[in-house]
Structure 1
């Protein structure tokens, strides 16, 4: 985790109980990655994304709760988080049953964890109005997940629950009693960088950056464990073994570099400058990290499959599509230039990353992993330069930097 300097918020640190919760939770998302390996097809990958999104918003619920109201010095706050680990662990053990068409126990566990979140937002009894709204929202989600455990069309209930959670969890600054008008693009941008009027809605930038950074490390750890475990199952007296082992570890290190040297610091600074604006926190973290976080699981599944004796064709596509999603999701190729050919170059690089999977027609799968790793190292080097210049401009004049970003966003849309 990068050190927070004087330009960033001096917020609270991640609590010890949050780290314990994340360890339990990573077991759950690890089972999703294993599901991709068990049935390497795009249909299964789509199911895995739906399952991961369900778990992701569960984790987001506890991350936002502790960011706004949690305190390791209060026993009640610790107990709510510890209680949440139980249904999450149960859900982890039942993830494979969801793929088999038996989601009842998993859905019941998801209902149980949302009841815990609803109770946490009701504690203490004199909760603010917005906290009460979140509590009722989680209660409604619990009902939807509970009903889905006993009826058909399970995914439909889950989608409704997750969509409404995404709507209420990071509430914006709305004035009640006034008719809602659709804001202009410029107005939405300005609102995103305006501190919330209600201090209860403020998001602690330092805590959120550290919490997401630690969780991304745990997901990268899943990739490292996958590489090591798969390598143990292969004889070490051939070139393929060493290509898979070294290539997988280099790939994991390059992905770490991309995020922690090119993305995390500027995200934290932007959120701090906005005064903890919840809409910006949603854009950068809750919604913005969903794609790169799932991409790490997809990469882990692809690398695992690539070191099998007879890897399926999907193995390389999982790896290259995952790397592409990761690079696009972390926005590390956003050069900040108004020139059109930079946009074309960015799209070309992402397209080339996907197409590296075609190398499996002429190279064995472990060798393709090594090529993808070298390519990602190159991408990490490019993004370091790009983001280094962006952070320099941001430090010199943050408002001018954000203004230029707004203008580019308007042109691109």
Structure 2
């Protein structure tokens, strides 16, 4: 059921990436991030719905998820209009998706009052998105931000309202590793890890498609052509390795050890994956641009900045040591990732892609070397591991 639902977002992500390719400047990148965030939180709403209440034996939830695919698909078709500052169709489609989520959570009586509060929150978001369709200019996007913030708070953080506010960092970390008082609010760690892993696969798929489409469009198949195409595919494989060989397992273990704490799920997945996930979309768009016959000057920077954000989000350069030298080395590694774009001064854009692929392979090797130590530290003292991150 959920794999079918994800097909809609394959199309949606492609449209957002295409928006960057059409107008490759930083203003368009930030606009794409805004559209991505709205789609991201829409997808998360359905992921959490099924995590807490879904059951393939219950036709009600299957029908609701199927119903949700319709407004989500319409939103995907309207993404390019949103880029052109005509967001009404996109906003109304997102309002429809939230109306479906509101009905689904309000029907979830077995999850108690928290589910009903989440349902009312989605009703409020649906109204806000519908209202934004009547507005022009920045106020439309301000309303989107308001809707996303309030629904995110209810979705995975609603059970924290009645808890005392912890001031020290140690106390806050300790609270993250307490199972929720209401067992019905516990997050299924295995299911959530699988869902977010599949979404990362969708985004890596955009990179594979970008390489393939750009390769088909090239007329001259010389040595540089084969190097750039191979480099693009190697880059995709290395980025897959960086996430799934370490970060995916670490996040799932942390959430399991917390007893499915919703606030930790929010930190690790809903909020923690947002920028790394978008960075994959940015890398896909930039590789597409780099393999064009006449790539823009921003293409190498899109690749390297995207990689730096991805490595930061997946903690590829993290280390158990906490010395100042280690922190400095991490900072230098991040800066070196970004500065790979300077190779564009002496190499064509496809050459930068090849260099980025080689750098990503090095990061994958580092992740593999540190994998056992990271997992051991998680099992030994998850609070200390999270504090050191």
Q: Same-fold call, TM > 0.5?
A: yes
| C-alpha deviation, 1:392, in angstroms | 3.0
8 Å CA contact 1:117, 1:138 repeated in 2: yes
Partner residue, 2:384: 404
CA gap 1:172/1:159 in 2 versus in 1, 3 angstroms: closer
Give the 3-state SS of the residue equivalent to 2:144 in structure 1: helix
Partner residue, 2:230: 246
Q: Deviations over 1:289-312 (max 9, x none)?
A: 101110010000100000111110
| C-alpha deviation, 1:49, in angstroms | 0.1
1:171 aligns with 2:164: no
Name the CA distance, whole Å, in 2 between partners of 1:157 and 1:345.
41
Partner residue, 2:47: 63
Name the CA distance, whole Å, in 2 between partners of 1:405 and 1:227.
37
| C-alpha deviation, 1:187, in angstroms | 1.1
1:145 aligns with 2:125: no
| C-alpha deviation, 1:331, in angstroms | 1.5
The two structures have a TM-score, normalised by structure 2, of 0.96
Partner residue, 1:373: 357
| C-alpha deviation, 1:334, in angstroms | 1.8
Aligned residues: 387
8 Å CA contact 2:241, 2:364 repeated in 1: yes
| C-alpha deviation, 1:336, in angstroms | 2.0
Name the CA distance, whole Å, in 1 between partners of 2:215 and 2:254.
41
Give the 3-state SS of the residue equivalent to 1:346 in structure 2: helix
Partner residue, 1:294: 278
Name the CA distance, whole Å, in 1 between partners of 2:296 and 2:7.
31
Partner residue, 1:7: none
8 Å CA contact 2:15, 2:79 repeated in 1: yes
1:311 aligns with 2:295: yes
Which stretch shows the higher mean deviation, 312-321 or 378-387? 378-387
Name the CA distance, whole Å, in 2 between partners of 1:61 and 1:42.
29
Give the 3-state SS of the residue equivalent to 1:197 in structure 2: coil
CA gap 1:182/1:275 in 2 versus in 1, 3 angstroms: closer
| C-alpha deviation, 1:28, in angstroms | 0.7
Name the CA distance, whole Å, in 1 between partners of 2:350 and 2:362.
19
> Which structure has more helix as a fraction of its residues?
2
Q: Deviations over 1:62-110 (max 9, x none)?
A: 0011001101111101011100110011011110000111000100000
Of 66, 69, 93 in structure 1, the residue corresponding to residue 77 of structure 2 is 93
Q: Deviations over 1:179-201 (max 9, x none)?
A: x5443211110010111110121
8 Å CA contact 1:104, 1:150 repeated in 2: yes
Partner residue, 1:5: none
| C-alpha deviation, 1:361, in angstroms | 0.6
8 Å CA contact 2:111, 2:184 repeated in 1: no
Uncovered stretches (5+) of structure 1, i.e. residues with no partner: 1-16
CA gap 1:135/1:403 in 2 versus in 1, 3 angstroms: closer
CA gap 1:406/1:63 in 2 versus in 1, 3 angstroms: closer
8 Å CA contact 1:91, 1:110 repeated in 2: yes
Name the CA distance, whole Å, in 1 between partners of 2:82 and 2:239.
30
8 Å CA contact 1:236, 1:242 repeated in 2: no
Of 173, 177, 202 in structure 2, the residue corresponding to residue 193 of structure 1 is 177
Name the CA distance, whole Å, in 1 between partners of 2:160 and 2:385.
24
RMSD of aligned Cα (Å)? 1.5
Name the CA distance, whole Å, in 2 between partners of 1:226 and 1:97.
22
Partner residue, 1:335: 319
Name the CA distance, whole Å, in 2 between partners of 1:289 and 1:215.
10
Partner residue, 1:11: none
Which stretch shows the higher mean deviation, 345-354 or 327-336? 327-336
Partner residue, 2:309: 325
| C-alpha deviation, 1:125, in angstroms | 5.3
CA gap 1:175/1:103 in 2 versus in 1, 3 angstroms: closer
Which stretch shows the higher mean deviation, 77-86 or 336-345? 336-345
| C-alpha deviation, 1:158, in angstroms | 0.3
Q: Deviations over 1:233-289 (max 9, x none)?
A: 002531231122101000000000000102111111111011000111011111111
Give the 3-state SS of the residue equivalent to 1:73 in structure 2: coil
8 Å CA contact 2:166, 2:172 repeated in 1: no
Name the CA distance, whole Å, in 2 between partners of 1:72 and 1:263.
29
The two structures have a TM-score, normalised by structure 1, of 0.91
